[in-house]
Structure 1
């Protein structure tokens, strides 16, 4: 496994985390519509609310990935903002981050994790299946997953 240091998001690294997410959107969609993602304007405040936490993963000091947890119910948490910089993909960083998120969710007493991804993002869908998530349903734009922990 590659070395990855995972830390809670700070104001000092917020711009880097935002850039990683936005670069992923630009790559996947070919454009960025900021109106769809109001949480990105202020990640620190958006992810310090009840039951929310945002993490960055750094490899040798460079932030290469992100991931967050958002409380849905007392038993269910949502994984959000999973992103790995393009040049750092296929090295195991997403797997390390998602395992970290699952561990934090379990430590917080959650029983279920949900997440969603764009239904055309085949690599993301394959990844989530590979790490044990099951498809709950697919709608016109999203693939919705769940996992019991």
Structure 2
């Protein structure tokens, strides 16, 4: 599975050689947003292949001009329901539509996997992420503490 567009941007499944860069993109984004990083969280990123790919979930990377610029994952929440996770774009590549393309690709894969509904969550103060999700048809069903929880019916 690989999608390309005219911007020389490719979305593809993660490969073993991508895992450290992907982890770095996600953790840098979190550090930027929170101002610090607690390494005891996010243990799934220490072995992306084991925690996503080997159990049948999906972890994608977006590559522009051979540079890994964004990530996104799709996991099974329960029968018929998937969860979008690990959406992150390198700071210098934000605002170029890569997150939107990643989200669209993950949604397409979710439909192929038979999911009827998708869930996701983001920090309540990450306004750009909230706007992206709202503009692509996601609805907030709960604001809990520091998190906004979204859903989208896809099938």
Range class of TM-score, shorter chain: over 0.9
1:51-80, Cα deviation, whole Å (9 max, x unpaired): 411000001111100000110112000000
- 1:3-60: CA deviation from partner (whole Å, max 9, x where unpaired): 3211111110101100100110110011111112110111111112444110000011
2:58 aligned to which of 53, 57, 69: 53
Which of 23, 26, 31 lines up with 1:21 in the alignment?
Answer: 26
After TM superposition, the structure 1 = structure 2 runs for residues 71-110 of structure 1, keeping only pairs within 5 Å, are 71-110=76-115
CA distance in 1, matches of 2:41, 2:67: 27
Report the number of matched residues: 149
Root mean square deviation, CA, Å: 1.1
Once residues 140 and 41 of structure 1 are traced to their aligned partners in structure 2, the CA distance between those partners, rounded to angstroms, is: 27
CA 1:136 to 1:3, structure 2 compared with 1: closer, same or farther past 3 Å? farther
Q: How far 1:135 sits from its partner (Å)?
A: 0.4
**1:40 paired residue among 42, 45, 49:** 45
- For 2:55 and 2:19, the matched residues in 1 are separated by 19
What's the TM-score once normalised by structure 1's chain length?
0.96
Q: 1:131 aligns with which of 136, 139, 142?
A: 136
Following TM superposition, where does structure 1 have runs of at least 4 consecutive aligned residues deviating by more than 6 angstroms?
none
Tell me the TM-score normalised to structure 2 length. Answer: 0.92
**Secondary structure of the equivalent of 2:84?**
strand
Q: Which runs of 5+ in 1 are unaligned?
A: none
- Alignment deviations for residues 69-119 of structure 1 (CA, whole Å, 9 cap, x no partner): 110112000000000000001001001100000000001110000000011
Counterparts in 2 of 1:2 and 1:132: CA distance versus 1, 3 Å: farther
Whether the aligned pair in 2 keeps the contact of 1:79 and 1:115 (CA below 8 Å) is yes
Structure 2, unpaired ranges of 5+: 1-5
Distance 1:104 1:54 in 2: 11
